[in-house]
Structure 1
Amino acid sequence: MKQLNKIKRVAVELICLLYVLLFIYAAVSKLLDFENFQVQLGQSPLLSAFAWWVSGLVPIMELGIVVVLAIPKWRILGLFASLSLMTLFTSYIFIVLNFSAFVPCSCGGILEKMSWNTHLVFNVAFVGLAVVALVWQNQISIENTRFKIIQPLVKSISIAIVSSVGIMTILFLSSEDLMQRKNPFVRRYIRRSIELVHSVDLKFNSYYFSGYNQGTMYLGNYTDPLRILSIDSSFKAVKGIEIDFKNRNLPFRSVKVLVRGNYFFLIDGSVPRIFKGSIEDWKITEELKGVPNFTLAEPIDSTSIVFRNNTGLGAAHILGIFNSNQSSKVEYLPTLLQKQIDGIFDTDGMLLFNAELGRIVYVYFYRNEIILADKNGTLQQRQHTIDTISNAKIKVAYLKEGSQRKMSAPPAIVNANTATKSNLLFVESKVPGLYEDDAMWKQAAIIDVYNLKKNTYVLSFPIFGVKENKLQSLFVTKTHLYVILGTNLKIYELKDILRKEMINGMCSHSHL
């Protein structure tokens, strides 16, 4: 019996030593590269919302446990703390592998070279070692009348394990709600959410996305407004198309061509005129007469257009709907855009129409707000991008006794480019979040993805190449994201996590 107790005592000492070495190495690694550790936690699917305090608490706990384990009379307490912390880590990995929307990068340190499944086995083994050490330490302590231990041991171990699993589960559920609905501005970058599949040199930087239909992408050209470039789904057949338009004497100043389904619209809000034709022959066959001046316009259907002009109160921006089939062709929507400073610059933004949801979408440039309205212009919801800029940070100068307005200082742009498809909205953000690398922001445009149907933030990803070229425009289909960077058209394939989110609003369980 004495020999057996001696073996148990040595084994407990070795297990405690293993834990001491593990926690010292892990804590020191985190502290030496603390910024990177904080960034990794910021990208965690479970702990993103709590990265600030968890990043500091974990190494402190690890070092604290080391101290407790090193003091013989506190060893039982140290082993319970080791068991609880390792159970937390094990629960974290299990939830990541089985319940999170994505699997992040390695945690670094001693486990950097391990796969997530190997991490799980490693942690389970250490949980088992802690349990064995507690049982044997308990048996040794019973022989030592100087030592009293909490009884019963099995109940205490069970409470420690269940409590740790419960804490991690609560953190997971709370973090998901905070990240998706009450994000404290921590982005969730997911690798392989998109993949570059093709790149085309357009030679000129004057192209924009006109639209997409049945596998063919159409690009308009600001400097040659009646010429359309079509690119088929193989990305090999590139063809120029000339629009057949006879009335070229109109004083056009800002012509744009929009392809929607089998129709195309030739629009210019300064004239103002809207013409319509079929993409089968690219001939102008009809004019939608009676349209007011506009600065932005987006077709709702073959006869209806949502537009923006500055005929609101005090020459402010206002949205409206034009319908060529109604006797009263124009209906203004004065409550959609909300003035903060001047009603012009502070309400500037991007206008889209989501055909799948039947929603008008307006995204402000200078604040974190997304407006959703139905086809009739009735407000459905005001959603927000994940940044915290709710008020436009701009300065406006009034010239010529208030008849002219100009920006008196460079504005703080929040959202720069947008695209929408099905229930997803893609937004190029200009505002860095917590735990983000400044070097990446100099080389890439950051795209945030939102689920409009669920009013949630989904994920973010970088588009590299902006150091040399500005990201000019975005367009998204059910399978691909199209990006114009300078003179280059880049085509990215949407991976499963985005495709499934687009289809049913549920994130996929994808591995990186």
Structure 2
Amino acid sequence: MAVILSSRFKKIIVDVVCLLYILLFVYAAVSKILDFEKFQVQLGQSPLFSAFAGWISWSVLLSEFIIVFFLLIPKTKMRALYAGFCLMSMFSAYIFIMLYFSSFIPCSCGGILEKMSWTQHLIFNLLFVLLAGVALWIDYNDLNGIRRKSSRLPIKFYLFTGFFGGTIAVILLYLSSEEIMQHQNPFIRRYPHHIVTFKSTVDLKYNSYYFAGSRGDKLYMGNSTVPLYLLSVDAKLKKQKIRVKLDRDTFLFKSIKLAVQPPHFYIIDGRTPAVFIGETKDWQAFLQEPKPPYFNIAVPVDSLTIAFRGISKNANILGFYKAGNKHQVVIAPNLLEKQIDGIFDTDGMLHYSEELKRIVYIYSYRNQYIVADQSGKLVYRANTIDTISHAKIKVAYLKDKTEQTVAAPILSVNASSCVYGHLLFVNSNVPGHFEKKSIWNQASVIDVYDLNAKAYLFSFHIYNIDGKKIRSFLVTENLLYALIDEKLVIYELGELLKKEIKKVSNRR
């Protein structure tokens, strides 16, 4: 009688575990169906399965429904329970890897687990793995002796294979996803938590300011309406106006830009053309000889050198101008690649990385950036994660083809950018997969790339202020500065971004 009662009790345990799995998977599957888009977004932003979010989302949903269906059939319920054991083992491995090996942790799951921390979520999953393991053990050894005798393998083998097989499968998916996301990205962004945190706002009263440079906790801004004045802002938000001085009483400028790279500063005018260089200790600038070539944008490289973009043979080109006794002009005509007209299609933004000793040029209308050394030699070309590889520009030619203009609105891919150390920051205009369009109306997206690894890292949002998006931004060791209409908005960098900045670069 005792044996009969014991068997009944064990059967109850197995049935209860099967019922718990039915309830869990039904609830989880229904929750996913009710907001499937959100479920796909969560997987797309996961640091483990980003590249496979599309088919994994459907696979998980279908697997849960199939397991529930076969759990309801007496002849197949134990096989279905074993499938549930394997699936929960995979879920547990996923959370464990994310907690202890991932670079960041995304938002928590929805539904019944929404209020749980990721550690509590892991414990919850492991509890269900244990319950299924106990039920399978009982059924195999005590309730189904005939099958046990006819089987050549013990239940321990099946449990071991299910648990560790599922874990290995998750690890392989994770490694494959990382390779795809960093080097073959299918246009899926990752949004870790707290990349930047709002710190303060400074009302500049005018929207004519632009970033001239920074050093330490001090920011410098130029003003296009007052071209020979700088505004500095320190860590305590104390503002100071600085008037730069020339080594002559007058000079005919046409288009001035100020750049500050302490201990030097630069007055640059590519339409004159002229370059003045001075030191920040007295803000006195001296005209450099001989004159540089004409250019339209330029950035400082060192105390006597600028990198520039000019025009030659009706096409944009990159080059270097070095002043002084050993003056030199280096032209790199093959760095920029023509697709349509050589002017509009090669438009972009030019940066210089002091850490890498490299120039970085990112196109405005296609998904590519260029890294080159100070001799104008190409180091490599790489792509941003969007899919627009060819500029969508229509050019019209006027005055017997002596002038050209844009004949239709241009699709802007990269709105603004900056470089700090070995990191490239790009304000993208193109939404990726699994991104809600409503967010794009409320914020600007910044994508972060590692120039050493030629890899995409992650993205974050800078939210609009009074309906206005950022027009430019600058990153320092601890802060991100954004110009939004007439306001300077300051953000504190989060630990993940600071960690990436502090990584030792492989100087080339």
Instruction: Tell me which interval the TM-score lies in, with the shorter structure as reference length.
Output: over 0.9
| Cα distance between partner residues in 2 of 1:218 and 1:54 | 48
Contact 1:443/1:467, CA 8 A, preserved across alignment: no
Q: Is the 8 A contact 1:454 1:505 kept in 2?
A: no
Aligned partner of 1:46 among 45, 48, 51: 48
TM-superposed CA distance for 1:251, in Å, is 3.2
Q: How does 1:385-400 map to 2 (within 5 A)?
A: 385-400=384-399
State the AA in 2 paired with 1:14: V
SS of the equivalent of 2:245 reads coil
Match of 1:455 in 2: 454
- What's the offset of the Cα at 1:282? 1.2
SS at match of 1:356: coil
Structural RMSD (CA)? 1.7
Percent of aligned positions with the same letter in both sequences?
Answer: 46
Q: Which amino acid aligns with 1:230?
A: S
AA partner of residue 437 (structure 1): K
Please name the residue that 2:432 is paired with: 433
Instruction: Name the stretch that deviates more: 150-159 or 36-45.
Output: 150-159
Deviation, 1:327, is 5.4
**Higher alpha-carbon deviation: 329-338 or 136-145:** 136-145
CA–CA separation in structure 1 for the residues paired with 2:465 and 2:414: 16
C-alpha deviation, 1:287, in angstroms: 2.5
Aligned to 2:154: 152
Partner of 1:510: none
2:444 partner amino acid:
A
2:20 paired residue number: 18
- TM-score, scaled to structure 1: 0.95
Within 1, Cα distance between the matches of 2:264 and 2:325?
A: 20
Write the distance in 2 (CA, Å) between the matches of 1:432 and 1:50: 18
Deviates more, 1:286-295 or 1:348-357: 286-295
Which range is displaced more, 207-216 or 292-301?
A: 207-216
SS in 2 for 1:234: coil
> What's 1:263 paired with?
264
Please state if 1:383 is matched with 2:382.
yes
1:321–1:274: structure 2 CA closer, same or farther, 3 Å change rule? same
Aligned to 1:199: 201
State the alpha-carbon separation in 2 of the partners of residues 146 and 426 from structure 1. Answer: 61
Amino acid at match of 1:429: S
Structure 1 281/146 Cα, relative in aligned 2: closer, same or farther at 3 Å? Answer: closer
Q: Secondary structure at the match of 2:492?
A: strand
Q: Partner of 2:286 in structure 1?
A: 285
Taking the aligned partners of 1:483 and 1:427, their CA distance within structure 2 comes to 13
Aligned residues: 503
| 1:60-92 deviation line (CA, Å, top 9, x unaligned) | 100100011111111221111011000000000
How big is the shift at 1:402?
1.1
Task: Choose which of 76, 79, 88 in structure 1 pairs with 2:78.
Answer: 76
Aligned to 1:482: 481
Name the SS of the counterpart of 1:180 in structure 2: helix
Segment of structure 1 superposing worse, 171-180 or 145-154:
145-154
Q: 1:240 — aligned with what?
A: 241
Q: Give 3-state SS (helix, strand or coil) of 2:144's partner.
A: helix
> Secondary structure of the residue that 2:235 maps to in structure 1?
coil
Match of 1:100 among 99, 102, 105: 102
Give the partner amino acid of 1:184: P
Per mean C-alpha deviation after superposition, the further-off stretch among 81-90 and 328-337 is: 328-337
Report the Cα offset of residue 233 of structure 1. 2.0
Alpha-carbon shift at residue 253 of structure 1 (Å): 2.2
Structure 2 match to 1:401: 400
* Alpha-carbon distance change, 131 to 214 in structure 1, aligned in 2, over 3 angstroms: closer
| 2:30 aligned to which of 25, 28, 31 | 28
Q: Which amino acid aligns with 1:479?
A: N
Q: 2:218 aligns with which of 192, 216, 238?
A: 216
Q: Which residue of 1 aligns with 2:315?
A: 316
How far has the Cα of 1:355 moved from its partner? 0.7
- Residue 178 of structure 1 aligns to a residue whose secondary structure is helix
Structure 1 position 324, deviation (Å): 1.3
Matches within 5 A, 1:119-198: 119-143=121-145, 151-198=153-200
Mapped contact 2:105–2:193 kept (Cα < 8 A) = no
Q: Which runs of 5+ in 2 are unaligned?
A: none
SS in 2 for 1:259: strand
Normalization by structure 2: what TM-score?
A: 0.96
User: 1:3 and 1:55 mapped to 2: Cα distance?
Assistant: 43
Q: 1:467 to 1:149 in 2, by over 3 A?
A: farther
Question: After superposition, what is the alpha-carbon deviation per residue over 1:243-290, rounded to whole angstroms, capped at 9, x for unaligned?
Answer: 123646433221111001211111111111111111111112342432
Alpha-carbon separation, structure 2, partners of 1:46 and 1:505: 25
Distance 1:466 1:42 in 2: 27
Shift of 1:148: 6.1
Residues 166-214 of structure 1: CA deviation (Å, up to 9, x unaligned): 1000011111111111111100011201111111000000000111124
Indicate the residue corresponding to 1:340 in structure 2.
339
Say yes or no: does 1:252 pair with 2:237.
Answer: no
1:72 aligned counterpart, secondary structure: coil
Residue 325 (structure 1) shift: 3.3
Equivalences for residues 99-118 of structure 1 within 5 A: 99-118=101-120
Letter in 1 for 2:43: L
Q: CA deviation at 1:151?
A: 3.3
Instruction: Determine the structure 2 residue equivalent to 1:304.
Output: 305
Contact 2:277–2:304 at 8 Å: present in 1 too?
Answer: no
Query: Aligned-pair distance for 1:143?
Result: 4.2
* Conserved 8 A contact 1:424-1:451: yes
The CA distance in 1 between the partners of 2:150 and 2:386, in whole Å, is 54
Q: Which amino acid aligns with 1:61?
A: S
